[in-house]
Amino acid sequence: MENQNQPAEASKTSTGLDQGVSVLLAYLFGWIGGLIFFLIEKENRFVRFHAMQSILLSVTFIVLWIALTIFGLIPVIGWLISVLLIPVMFLGNVALVIVLIVKAYQGQWFKLPVLGDYADKFSKSTPV
């Protein structure tokens, strides 16, 4: 993986869009935007990395949301915990996505713990 502190060189994308716009759209539209850009981007590894990181972050958020919703079916304690944690988790996700959009738009290889490692591994794979 390239140095996270060094901005990625702006390079050509398969879509014809600026790479900053591509990653912005990938993060903005969650797993759907990430999947679209991951599948159609053939040349730009920076875009592929951020698209995959967007997919993984969105899927992680969805799984956690479902788990908390199911936990909320437990009377009283489950209700209290889910009522408190779901909004906090949602706001945290929104804040994290905003940070990721800003960092990626600036051309930074900002890698999330764990998810970023998987995104890095998958983005190195040869596109179909």
Where along the chain do its domains lie? 19-121
Of 110, 6, 107, 14, the residue nearest 54 (C-alpha): 110
> What is the predicted pLDDT for the residue at 9?
63
Would you call 94 exposed, middle or buried from its count of C-beta atoms within 10 A (0-12, 13-18, 19+)? Answer: exposed
- pTM, full prediction: 0.83
> What is the predicted pLDDT for the residue at 121?
92
> What is the predicted pLDDT for the residue at 4?
54
User: Would you give the DSSP letter of residue 7?
Assistant: B
Structure tokens at 10: 């702006």
> What is the predicted pLDDT for the residue at 32?
96
Which stretches of the chain drop beneath a pLDDT of 50? none
> What is the predicted pLDDT for the residue at 114?
94
> HEC states along 56-125?
HHHHHHHHHHHHHHHHCCCCCHHHHHHHHHHHHHHHHHHHHHHHHHHHHHCCECCCCCCHHHHHHHHHCC
> What is the predicted pLDDT for the residue at 7?
58
Would you say 53 and 116 are in contact if contact means Cβ atoms under 8 Å apart?
yes
> What is the predicted pLDDT for the residue at 40?
93
> What is the predicted pLDDT for the residue at 123?
87
Q: What residues are paired with 7 via a beta bridge?
A: 108
